[in-house]
Structure 1
Amino acid sequence: MSLIAVAITVESAEQVAFALESAHAAAKRGATIVEWRVDALAHTDNALESVALLVKNSPLPCIVTIRAAAEGGAYVGHESARLELLIAVCKLTVPPSYIDLELAAFQASAEFQKQFATAQTSTRLILSAHDFQTRPADLSKRIGAMWNEPLCAVAKIAWLARSVRDNLEAFELLRHQSKPTIALCMGPFGIASRVLAPKFGGFLTYARPDNEMGTAPGQLTAQEFINVYSFARITPATKLFAVVGWPIEHSLSPLLHNAAFSATQFNGAYVPMAIPPEWEHFKASLGEMSGSTILNLRGVSVTLPHKEHALRWCKQQGGDADLVSEWCGAANTLIFSDNGVTHAFNTDAPAAVAALAGALEINQQHSAALASGGAIANVEISSARAAHVNVDAKTIASQTLDQWRQQCVLVLGAGGAARAVIAGLALTGAHVVIANRTHDKAKQLAKHFNARAIIGSHQSRVEAVALGNIAAHSFTAIVNCTSAGMTGSGAESIDPLPTTLEIKTRMVLMDTVYRPRETPLLRRARAAGAVIVDGTEMFLRQAALQFELFTQDDCAWSNATVVMASHDLPGKNKQTNIAERGRIAPEKSLSTNSSGTSAPLSLWRELLNQQLNAQS
């Protein structure tokens, strides 16, 4: 089982008591070993006495490290003094379990090698190598030297990842280890190497104390390893899932999916993987990850700006896409099947429509089915609804379609999220109006989605209107699909809706941004008396549909009713009636009630509320 080492920096004797408190707190949060980073402390007069107190009173087994500045540490004194202090630490009455020394320093000091080899100590040696700039050119040579050194108990190699593909090399090193090994990629691209250490037999992974920067870029807290990533559940047989996007560090998807995996005893791990926005980065990264025989990558959530890339990549691989992905030209979910075929899905469309339907008092379950291209048939009506609606499912579907055809919905934006929302709304029969800063993009989307055959004999109704002219229209609902108001977007204070458009009482305002929960647009809408749908509703519903696709028949929540359309290849004629290609799969979707609420949503809402409230 891989250890979680919390790395605690101690710079002076005065910090010893606080450092021990931090170690106790980390132990309660799941850390299993402590690394005392005493780089600066080693410069002080009573360094050995301070280290002795740390080791003797440590709540967990510990590592003592005096990292040289050349490899990312803070020690700048004489090298001989550093090595002498490490030997003295090994000879303490209560010695640490390990000391960590750089491979280069070890190889340069025959005296240290001699003294450590002859020391009467239980302390074992971790030899390490670090590169905070890039992958070292002699990586294989360095790790080989550590593996071949008899005095080395644990080998450690860490470098700044250039892309998520560096993680694969770290995993390969762990697969071929000849002694306990730590192989980690630092920085935003390297989180997978930290989280998945147990899957590949890594000796340990490093964590930072709460509310501290950490000793290396990309470190998580012990609490994150346990509460977000269910670190202790990860085994070599664990199936891997990921969320890819740029930026990705603020994504809450790992928290939700890993919690659902734990709740259902599904052996899966879900990690963030940052991929820069360019197509070539996406193509190369997905190609290597999906083609890896050791990852066991089974599914990917795709977020901005890669949703259109996802569909393009799937098609280039000879995969297939569901109807909504084909309709909107974007996918937010990729599934990798055992036979090597990639399947692309878009769960944003049915999720957005279901979230909006709730505010408009339209049947959410049937709305989601319409928006996913699903034919409404054989839907089991709940007893509560059947008590006062004595009609069959097809009639209810017809009523749902009629209700949607009375709606006029303004969609702000023309990117991947907007395409999914527009596609879903178009499939319901609603009148959709697109407004975007670049009007030509809005016109292109309208041309793509308008006058297409949908359910029955109906056609979609989609048009583009310039932002300056939207006040001349009357809308029952408005959906923001831009990044305006999003944390980290650079547009946090922007309200994307022109002030010339009056927000009326009882109008429905929905934002696809969920961080923060209340954007400038929603604050304005709330003040005007509108019905508010924040971004968490769409986010949670699309995640629930992804979870069903990820787990399939292995999910404990398996007695479901609706919602995704078939992932069979759509026909070449994109104008054919979509109802003929949809399906309802009661045996393979999440447990859903008549309002379209699925089993993980209550769990996820609680987690999301806690997370967002903590950050507000």
Structure 2
Amino acid sequence: MPAPLITPESLHQRAGRICVAVSGPEMFSLAAATLPDCRFIEFRLDSVPDPASQLPHLRQFLAEHPEATAVATCRRQPYGGGFHGTAQQEIEILAEAASAGCQLVDIETETAEELGTAALEQLRANGAAVILSWHDFQGTPALEPELDRMTPFAPDFRKIVPTATTLTEALQLIDMLKTHGGNGRLIAMSMGFRGTLTRVLGPRFGSLFTFASPEGNAGTAPGQVSLSTLQHLYRAEAITAETSIYAVAGLPITGSLSPRMHNTAFRAAKLDAVYLPLETDALAELLAVVARLNVRGLSITMPLKETILPHLAVSDAAVQQMQTCNTLVKTAEGFAGYNTDVPGIVGPLQRALPLANTKILILGAGGAARAAVFGLRDAGAHIYLLNRTYARAEALAAEAGVHAIRREDLSAHTFDAIINSTPYGMRNQTMEAPIAAEEMRAKVFFDLVYNPVETPLLQLARQNGLHVIPGVEMFVEQGVRQFIHWTGQSAPREAMQQSVLEALA
């Protein structure tokens, strides 16, 4: 076998560890826009009806941009691509792409099996190293046999890309990288949202590089994240074996702003740490991921806030009182559990008015209401609960030793503060308003809903002349407390809040 035309070392030195995949009729303009930030580009020639027609443009682009490192792919339709031609036609197009200046070409294992090693030699003869690739768009079968299928063809690089339908399947890919990624000639990641950890951590465990989508454009594979997200939010190219891993866990978390907030915080604080989304409702699976990746701390969301309780070595008073935990810290003794939802509510309200002997109305009787009830009660406030179902308000009020109130009795009361803990105002939420403008007889209105930033109830409260506290303040405050628990340092609050506001804008 001839010596590879590009080595892992020269690739990293020339192009780095992130490759941006561009596709469609605008692929060359997307590539040009990407080059100032990333010089490693994959051209998905199969994403246009006539890939051969793009070859003159590819040649011109690479002549004008000698700094670019280019991969050409023309994947056939039966194997997840858009090209409807034959295996031989695929090779001919990729050979032309190689002669146009692409340093790497990607062909499917199935193409190599159909045409033999001569196809790979044809591509090498035109100046490109060969990536032999395999994809599974449905799940993650045994991966070792797929590597073995590639061995007879002696490719320069091997690429394995299954789909992670669970975190366990994502771990399966990480295990394969640990075993076979040591020589720098394996590229591997899992598609799908639950494969995010493999895209971010893959190079740490031996993947030659990972893929990103160009800014403002959809990716070429499910679960692909944008270049700026990989480069600046996750700081993927700086991740090493020494990088501390933190995460948010629960189901669903696809829209969670916690990765944006906490990765921003780590960067602002100059900490070597990364924060990942781990989507699961299976506690055993989460615990396995935490152990295998040595996750140092977690944000816990539903439905795991209660099921984690038996696994805590120690817990704070709020966890014991609320019987829910939203923050984990890994210690030598085991997990330490905290509930930062309580200070997340108490803190912003405390900055607006003194809480001792204040009269506060809480709308709702769910989990957020519980945090508000117990936290504010312990701060010395007099609490009144209003819920659509009076029996639920009455039950929580009896448990906490506070008052339940019926809506028809609101007119007899004036409050220092009103807190909305219901989902009313969330995007796509259709429930009726829990309170009307004329019933907002208070000085302060605090809406725990933070998406959108400006909720209908906040607008009503402003019109009534109340001082308003948006839900973003609660979200950031609880995140600030998590950061302190994890790091022992003061949190960069302003940077965290700005990142959330930008994401919601």
Could you state the TM-score of these two structures normalised by the residue count of structure 1?
Answer: 0.74
Matched, 1:25 2:37: no
User: Please, which of 473, 477, 480 is the counterpart of residue 417 of structure 2?
Assistant: 477
Residue equivalent to 2:291: 291
Distance change (3 Å), C-alpha of 1:144 and 1:435: farther
The number of residues matched between the two structures is 487
- Structure 1 gaps of 5+ residues are 276-280, 363-403, 451-461, 553-557, 559-589, 591-598
Residue equivalent to 1:182: 187
Q: Contact conserved, 1:71 with 1:132, CA < 8 A, in 2?
A: no
Residue equivalent to 2:121: 117
Residue equivalent to 2:4: none
Distance change (3 Å), C-alpha of 1:132 and 1:185: same
| CA distance, structure 1, for counterparts of residue 344 and residue 48 of structure 2 | 54
Matched, 1:608 2:500: yes
Residue equivalent to 1:379: none
Q: CA deviation at 1:44?
A: 5.2
Cα shift readout 1:302-330 (whole Å, capped 9, x = no counterpart):
23x23xx3343232x25221110111121
SS in 2 for 1:244: strand
Q: CA deviation at 1:215?
A: 0.7
- The AA in structure 1 aligned to 2:446 is M
Q: CA deviation at 1:171?
A: 1.2
| CA distance, structure 2, for counterparts of residue 290 and residue 42 of structure 1 | 45
Residue equivalent to 1:414: 365
Q: CA deviation at 1:296?
A: 1.5
Residue equivalent to 1:35: 42
Residue equivalent to 1:300: 298
Residue equivalent to 2:101: 95
Distance change (3 Å), C-alpha of 1:426 and 1:101: same
Q: CA deviation at 1:495?
A: 6.0
| CA distance, structure 2, for counterparts of residue 471 and residue 34 of structure 1 | 65
User: Please, which of 79, 82, 88 is the counterpart of residue 87 of structure 2?
Assistant: 79
Q: Contact conserved, 1:7 with 1:36, CA < 8 A, in 2?
A: yes
Cα shift readout 1:341-381 (whole Å, capped 9, x = no counterpart):
11110111112111011222x3xxxxxxxxxxxxxxxxxxx
| CA distance, structure 2, for counterparts of residue 265 and residue 207 of structure 1 | 24
| CA distance, structure 1, for counterparts of residue 170 and residue 411 of structure 2 | 51
Q: CA deviation at 1:102?
A: 1.1
User: Please, which of 305, 308, 311 is the counterpart of residue 310 of structure 1?
Assistant: 305
| CA distance, structure 2, for counterparts of residue 184 and residue 468 of structure 1 | 58
| CA distance, structure 1, for counterparts of residue 366 and residue 249 of structure 2 | 17
Residue equivalent to 1:535: 471
Distance change (3 Å), C-alpha of 1:149 and 1:319: farther
Residue equivalent to 1:229: 234
Matches within 5 A, 1:4-403: 4-10=18-24, 15=25, 18-28=26-36, 30-41=37-48, 43=50, 46-58=53-65, 60-90=68-98, 92=99, 94-110=100-116, 113-117=117-121, 119-135=124-140, 137-146=141-150, 148-149=151-152, 151-178=154-181, 179=183, 180-275=185-280, 281-292=281-292, 295-303=293-301, 305-306=302-303, 309-315=304-310, 317=311, 319-339=313-333, 341-360=334-353, 362=354
Q: Contact conserved, 2:424 with 2:434, CA < 8 A, in 1?
A: no
| CA distance, structure 1, for counterparts of residue 487 and residue 449 of structure 2 | 26
Residue equivalent to 1:375: none
SS in 1 for 2:494: helix
Q: CA deviation at 1:333?
A: 0.4
| CA distance, structure 2, for counterparts of residue 539 and residue 45 of structure 1 | 51
Q: CA deviation at 1:252?
A: 2.1
| CA distance, structure 2, for counterparts of residue 32 and residue 323 of structure 1 | 52
Q: CA deviation at 1:428?
A: 0.7
Q: CA deviation at 1:471?
A: 4.1
Could you state the TM-score of these two structures normalised by the residue count of structure 2?
Answer: 0.90
RMSD over aligned CA atoms reads 2.3
- Identity, % of aligned pairs? 31
Q: CA deviation at 1:38?
A: 0.6
Matches within 5 A, 1:480-519: 480-487=420-427, 490-491=428-429, 496-499=433-436, 502-504=439-441, 507-519=443-455
| CA distance, structure 2, for counterparts of residue 98 and residue 45 of structure 1 | 17
- The AA in structure 2 aligned to 1:106 is A
